[in-house]
Amino acid sequence: MNLLSAIADLVDDPQGFIDRAGTRETGWAGVSGYLFGTFSIFIFLRMFSAVLPGVYSFLNVLLVVTAVNFLFAAVIHLFLEMTGSNGKALKLFFLFGLTEFLWVLLIPLGFIARLGLIHPVIDLFICFFVIIIARISLTRRLYSISRNKALLALGLPYAAAAAGFLIVFVYAIVYLVWLVA
C-alpha cells in the first residue's frame, strides 16, 4: 500500500481503513504526514521570517512537532484506556500524522496573508481547527467512542499545556515584581 492509496482509502472509508490497515501501512503514511506537514509549517514560518533558513531549523521544527504529537497521543491514549475504551496508541500517533497533511493548507493561506487580505495568525487557527476536527473523527473511529468523549480526550492535553503556560506566566510576573521591588 503506497502513500496515495492509503490517503485515498482513509478519505473514502475511514472506518474500514482504520480497521483493516496495520501498523506498517499507517506508519509510513503517518511519518510522511509528519514530514509534509512540518515542511508546510516550516515554509509558512519562513514566509514571515519566523524561523531561520536551513536544514537544521527544519529538523528542529520537525522534532518539536513530532515530540508534541507523540506526547499528546500518549496522553489521549492513557485517558481513553483509563475510561475503558480500547485502541492502539501507536496507530493513534500515526493517524495523527495523517492529519498533519492538512497543514499543507497553510501555504496558500500564507500567500493570501502576504497580500494583506488575512492575518497569518488567523491562517494558523483555521488549519489548527481543521486538524482538530479531523483528529476527533479519527479518534472516534479508532476507539469507538462518542464525539463528546473524543473532544474531551483531545482537549485535555491542550488544556494541560495552557494551564502550564499560565502557571509559568504568573510565576514570571511574580518573580519580576519581586526582582524590581
HSE-CB at 114 with a 13 A cutoff on CA atoms is: 13
Q: Let me know the angle formed at the C-alpha of 74 by 73 and 76, rounded to the nearest 5 degrees.
A: 65
* Total domains present in the chain: 1
Minimum mean pLDDT range among 6-15, 24-33, 94-103: 6-15
**How far is it, in rounded angstroms, from Cα 71 to Cα 77?**
10
**pTM attached to this predicted model:** 0.82
Dihedral angle over CA of 135, 141, 146, 152, nearest 10 = -30
> What is the residue range of 69's domain?
3-180
pLDDT in tens, 40-86: 999 999 999 888 999 999 999 999 999 999 999 999 999 999 998 88
pLDDT exceeds cutoff 90 at 2: no
